[in-house]
Structure 1
Amino acid sequence: MVSQSSSANADTHIRPVISATGLYTPTDVITNEELVESFNAFVERENAANAGAIEAGETEALQPSSVGFIEKASGIKARHVLDKEAILDPATMAPRYRERGNDELSLMAEIGVAACREALAMAGRDPEDVDAVLCAASNMQRPYPAMAIEIQQALGIDGFAFDMNVACSSATFGIQTAADYVRAGHARSVLVVSPEITSGHLNWRDRDSHFIFGDVATAVLVERAEMAPAEHWDILGTRLKTVFSNNIRNNFGFLNRAHPETVGAADKLFVQEGRKVFKEVVPMVAEMILSEAERLDINAAGLRRLWLHQANAGMNRLIAQRVLGHEASEDESPTVLDSYGNTSSAGSIIAFHRHRADLAHGDTGLVCSFGAGYSVGAVFLRKVGA
C-alpha cells in the first residue's frame, strides 16, 4: 500500500490552481439499443455455429443482453466511440483504425491535442506559456515515444513531457503531480491530458462488460495562482492511495500478446470482478475522502459538489451518501455516465468540466477517481471568482 498527500498549505508561497479544462468528445454515439441489437446478433450467430457442441453439453450457449440489464447494472444509456461501424458489426465487434505512419500525428495524440487546445483557449493561454505536459491515461497507444512528448510537440510547447498510468485514477494522480511541480517551482503551467481510447481494450463480445466504456479526451491546466484567470479553482489539497488487486485487470501488452490462434482472447482485454470491486472500493474511497477532508479541516458534509469517477451509478450513489451524510441529489453529485459511459481517467474530469459553472465564489468541491490498482485520487477544490 502506498499513500501520499499534498496540500496547498505547504511551506511555500507558490499556490497551484486549476485555471481551465478542455474536452474532446467523438461524434459517433452507440446507444444501448444499438449495442444490444449488435451483441444479440453475434450471440445468435455463435450459438448457431456451435449448436452441436451446445446440444452435446460440451459448451454453454451464449446468453443475449438487454437494455434493461445494462441500465440496471451500470446506469449507462449511451457512449461515444471513435469507430462505431466496426464495433456494431457482429462479424467484427471491435474498432478498426487506419494504421498511421510514424510521420503522422497519432490518433491518441490527435484527440489529446484537441482537448488541450480548448483548455488553453479557456484560460487565454498560449503554448509558450506552458512548461510541461503530462499524458495521464489508462490505455496508451504505444510504449514509446511517450504520447505526452508527441502532444507537446504538436502544441508547440517548449519544456518537458512524460506519460503516467494509474488506470482510472490517472488524471487525479496527474493533477497532484502537476501541482507538486508548480509548488516546487519546476514549472509555472502544466497540462494534464487524458486521451482515453478505451474501446480498443474492451471485449465487445462479453455480456458482462461490453457496455461499459466510451472514448473521450480531457485536459486540465494547472498553474501558479498569480498567472491564472480571475476565475479559477484553488487546489486545497490532494490525496492518493494504491492497493494491489487483480479484480480489475487488462493483460494486453507487447509481453502478453495473444498467440495467433487466440487473438482477441478475453484475458488479454479488460476483465473485472464487478461485485468484488464494488464491495472493496466503496468503503476505501469513502474513508479516504473523509479522512483527508478532516486533515484539511474541510467539512465533508458541506462540500458543494462531488465530481466522482464515472464508472457505476450505484458506486457513486453510495460513496456520495457516506461522504455527505445523506443521499446526494443530481446537483450535489452530477452524472455524465449515462451519456458518456465509463471513460476511465477522464470521467471525473468530464463531470467537473460540464458541471461547475454554477458554483459561487468560495464553494468547495471534490474531484475523485478510483479504479484498477486499486487506485484512488482525490482533489479538493475551492472556486475563486464569479
Structure 2
Amino acid sequence: MNSPASETASVIADNSIAIDARKVRDALQPKGREREAGNDERLLFRSSKRVQKLTGFSIRSIGSYVPSRVVTNEELEIRHGFEPGWIERRTGIKQRRFAADNESTSDLAVEAARRAIAAAQVSPADIDLLIVGTFSPDFTCPSTACLIQNKLKLDCPAMDLQAACSGFMYALATGAQFVATGNSQLALIIGADVNSRIVQPDDQQVAPLFGDGAGAVLLEAAGDSQGFVRYQLGADGAGGGMLDRPAGGVTLPLTPELVAAGRHYLKMDGRNVFKWAIEAVTQSIKMVLDDAGVGADDVNLFV
C-alpha cells in the first residue's frame, strides 16, 4: 500500500508496469460520468509534464530476502477476532513474514544485496553507488545505507531515501538517473523494511497489512531501448496525516509517556487511505500508459 504522501507508476522496457494496485485493468476502465472540474474531490497529477521517460540503463540482476518466520492470516484473525478468510477477502494477502528478534532492516537488505551480487557475478568492489529505500531504518542516524555499506565492504556513496511504500521506486528512479548519465557504472538499489517493529500488534487496521522483507537490484548502463518507457513520481503532503508515526521526530520527541501510549507506532486511517490509493494510483497509472501510447491490455505484468 502506498503512503498518502507519495506514489509512483512506471512502464519499463519490456512493457511491465510496477505499481501496488489490485485489479488494475478493471480500475482503469471508465465507470459512469467523468468527474467535472471544480468538484469537491481534488484530482492529483493534472499535468502530463509529470510523466517522464528515462532510458540508458537496465537491471543487471535482482535479489530478494524474506525472514523465515511465517505469520498466517489465521493467526491474525484469531488474535483480532476476525471471521475466517476476512483478511484475504479484503486485502488479497495470504501471509506475511516477520523478522527474527536478532534481524534488523540492514540485515535483510544485506542478504538481498548479496543475492543480487551473486546473480550478477560481480564483485562488491565494482559497485559505485548505494541507495536504500526504507521507512523502518535501523537507527535515525547513521543511515541504514551506511550500515549496509560497511557490512558489504563497499567503497561508494551511500544514502537512504524515505518515501514510505513508494521508497523503492523513488530509489530506483534516483539510481537510474546516475547510471543513465554516466555518473555510476553499477548501482545497488535496495528496498527493505522491518514493519513488524513499527506496527502496534493489536492495531486491527494496520497489523494485518504489513510484513518484513528486502529486495535489491543492480543497475548498469544500457542502450536507448532499455529503461523506463514512461514513469511518474508524485507526492501529496496534504494526505500525510492519514498514515504516519506521530512520535519520534523533532516535533514530538519520544518520552516514556508517548511510548506507553503507543504514539511511536505507525497509525493509519484505513478507509481513507484505501480510497485515496485507489483513486490516486489509478490516475497515475492511466497517465503513464496514455503518455506511453499503450493500453492496460498491452502490459504483460502488473506488480
Report the TM-score when normalising by structure 1: 0.60
Match for residue 28 of structure 1? 69
Map 1:352-367 onto structure 2 (within 5 A).
none
* 1:88-130, Cα deviation, whole Å (9 max, x unpaired): xxxxxxxxx46xxxxxxx8322211110011111122211221
Partner residue of 1:8 out of 54, 68, 74: 54
Q: Are 2:248 and 1:207 aligned?
A: no
Query: What count of residue pairs does the alignment treat as equivalent?
Result: 253
Aligned to 2:124: 127
1:247 paired with 2:248, answer: no
Asked if structure 2 preserves the Cα contact closer than 8 Å seen for 1:19 and 1:233, the reply is no
How far does the alpha carbon of each residue in 1:61-89 deviate from its partner, in whole angstroms, 9 at most, with x for none?
Answer: xxx33333323332223211013xxxxxx
Is contact 1:209-1:271 (8 Å) kept?
A: yes
Q: CA separation in 2, counterparts of 1:176 and 1:261?
A: 40
Residues 316-369 of structure 1: per-residue CA shift (max 9 Å, x gap): xxxxxxxxxxxxxxxxxxxxxxxxxxxxxxxxxxxxxxxxxxxxxxxxxxxxxx
Residue 36 of structure 1 and its aligned partner are, at CA, apart by 3.5
Shifted more, 196-205 versus 263-272: the winner is: 263-272
Deviation at 1:156, TM superposition (A): 2.3
Other-structure match for 1:74:
91
Report the CA distance between 1:280 and its aligned residue: 2.0
Q: Say whether residues 1:147 and 2:164 are aligned partners.
A: no
Identity %: 26
> Comparing 245-254 with 235-244, which one deviates more in the overlay?
245-254
C-alpha separation in 1, matches of 2:280 and 2:63: 29
CA-to-partner distance for each residue in 1:356-383, whole Å, 9 max, x for gaps? xxxxxxxxxxxxxxxxxxxxxxxxxxxx
Which ranges in structure 2 are unaligned for 5 or more consecutive residues? 1-43
2:51 and 2:231 in contact (8 A); partners too: yes
- Cα distance change on mapping 1:218 and 1:233 into 2, 3 Å: farther
Q: What CA distance in whole angstroms lies between the structure 2 residues aligned with 1:264 and 1:20?
A: 44
SS of structure 1 residue aligned to 2:139: coil
Q: Cα–Cα, structure 1 residues 16 and 282, in superposed 2: closer, same or farther, change >3 Å?
A: same
Higher RCO by CA contacts (8 Å cutoff, separation 6 or greater): 2
- The 1:19–1:169 alpha-carbon spacing in structure 2 relative to 1, beyond 3 Å, is same
- Out of 169, 172, 180, the position equivalent to 2:166 is 169
Give the counterpart letter for 2:114 in structure 1: R
Does the CA-based 8 Å contact 1:18-1:235 persist in structure 2?
A: no
Q: CA RMSD in A?
A: 2.4
Alpha-carbon distance change, 6 to 19 in structure 1, aligned in 2, over 3 angstroms:
farther
Contact 2:61 2:116 in 1 (8 A): yes
Give the distance between the partners of 1:264 and 1:22, measured in 2 at CA. 38
Kindly indicate whether the alpha-carbon contact (under 8 Å) linking 1:188 and 1:223 is maintained by their aligned counterparts in 2: yes
On the 8 A contact 2:230/2:291 being kept in 1, the answer is no
What are the ranges of 5 or more consecutive residues in structure 1 without an aligned counterpart? Answer: 10-14, 41-63, 84-96, 99-105, 227-231, 308-386
Aligned partner of residue 176 in structure 2, secondary structure: helix
The 2-side partners of 1:274 and 1:254 are apart by 23
Q: Give distance in 2, aligned partners of 1:4 and 1:124.
A: 36
Indicate the SS of the match to 1:191: strand
**Is the alpha carbon distance of 1:252 and 1:29 closer, same or farther for their aligned partners in structure 2, counting shifts above 3 Å?**
farther
**CA–CA distance in structure 2, aligned partners of residues 133 and 158 of structure 1:** 10
Q: TM-score, normalised by structure 2?
A: 0.76
